[in-house]
Amino acid sequence: MKYKLAIFDLDGTILDTLDDLTDSLNHVLAEHCYGLHTKEEVRGFVGNGIHKLIERAVPTGTSSNDIENVYNEFSEYYKIHCTDKTKPYEGIPDMLMKIRSAGYRTAVVS
């Protein structure tokens, strides 16, 4: 066996978190009377962390103070709602069981 370990990212690789991200983001944006985003738009905003997601989602020209407020409110709201719709991608649990049964160790780095 050439490899002994398989390492995975969690969000967007093992778990489909996009619905909860979209719902949480839109909840906070609505609280600030900012425009809402579709799931596909949010998919395009994802990458480089939650702060970057917020920066991409708020209207152009939003002050850094307002961005921080949205970020903090999103973080609190998402903590409560991050598992409302989140689930493993189809086939992931079976794949993980198969590679572990084959003798590979698994880890998540996220």
SS3 20: helix
Residue with tokens 């780095």: 109
Identify any residues that bridge with 106 across adjacent strands, giving them in sequence order: 6
Which of these is catalytic: 9, 19, 20, 23? 9
Identify any residues that bridge with 62 across adjacent strands, giving them in sequence order: none
**Which two tokens mark 65?**
């103070």
Alpha carbon distance 28, 91 (integer Å): 32
Task: Tell me if residue 19 is catalytic.
Answer: no
Residues with active-site annotation: 9
